[in-house]
Amino acid sequence: MTNLALLLSTLASLAQAGEALPAGDAPAETPPAESAESAPAETDAGAAAEEPDAEPLTDGAAAALDDPAPETLEADDGTDRADSEEIARVQAWLDGLDTLSGRFTQVAADGETTQGTVHLDRPGRARFDYDDPTPVLLVADGTTVAVADLALETIDRAPIRATPMRWLLAEDLDLAASGAVVEAERYDDELFVSLEDPEGETEGRLTLVFADPDPDAPAGTMTLRGWYAVDAMGGLTQITLDEVERGGDLDPRLFILDDEDVMGDDRRRGRRR
């Protein structure tokens, strides 16, 4: 399976560059992401607002994807009051998200763990830079998502709307009107919102996980802790965020990926002939 196929199915195991993604149960609890030194983002008003470090997503949270609890809030008809409140809460959080930077830990369906740095610049732009020795870079430039294998010197591209990243990067996403929310669930102090494409253009399911200890507080007090992606084959990939900062200015060059950035000198010369 190509990197592009992996991306289209779930974001999953981009680090595995070319290997098929087996279906499986939820992985074991993710270890915390290792600390990485980075310059703090700056905002127009000064220093960026820093969110609390996120703890690894719990085993109970993973189980929620397969065995919803009685308090599951169904979102099919949009008429349930509690469900509508939860959807509106997540909508407000997304509407208030401009930029986000932090560390991520990814656990693929086969249990392989990789880490890296993530930057989001809504709408439309994202960068997932995997740590060595994983030779993978993912860049969304506002229109397409490019997955670069730096070892093979290849780039695969797909429209953002055809990938799970659309739910985080879309400019005018209306969760309630889109029909994309299939479940909204609470487990302890966490809120889970599961999204599927009702048009079928994006396969699988993406579940966003928020730390939300006070549902009566403003939506901006929630923290995005990560997400689960379930592909069309049932393979589960878990992303946990850590050291998250919101609201900083990001260099636009982070979201540009050219062939020249990936290909070696010999391949670039070959393309010019």
* Per-residue pLDDT tens digits for 186-218: 888 999 999 999 888 888 899 999 999 998 999
Burial of residue 5, with CB atoms counted within 10 A of its CB: 0-12 exposed, 13-18 middle, 19 or more buried: middle
Percent of the chain with pLDDT over 70: 66
Residue 93 pLDDT greater than 90, yes or no: yes
Average pLDDT of the residues in 31-49? 41
* Among the ranges given (3-12, 80-89, 164-173, 175-184), the one the predictor scored with the smallest mean pLDDT: 3-12
Fold classification of 3-17+57-245 (topology level): outer membrane lipoprotein receptor (LolB), chain A (2.50.20)
Number of continuous H segments (helices) and E segments (strands) in the chain: 6, 15
Q: Is 78 exposed, middle or buried (0-12, 13-18, 19+ CB in 10 A)?
A: middle
Residue of 177, 179, 176, 182 whose CA lies nearest to 205: 182
Give the global pTM.
Answer: 0.69
Max CA-CA distance within the chain?
64
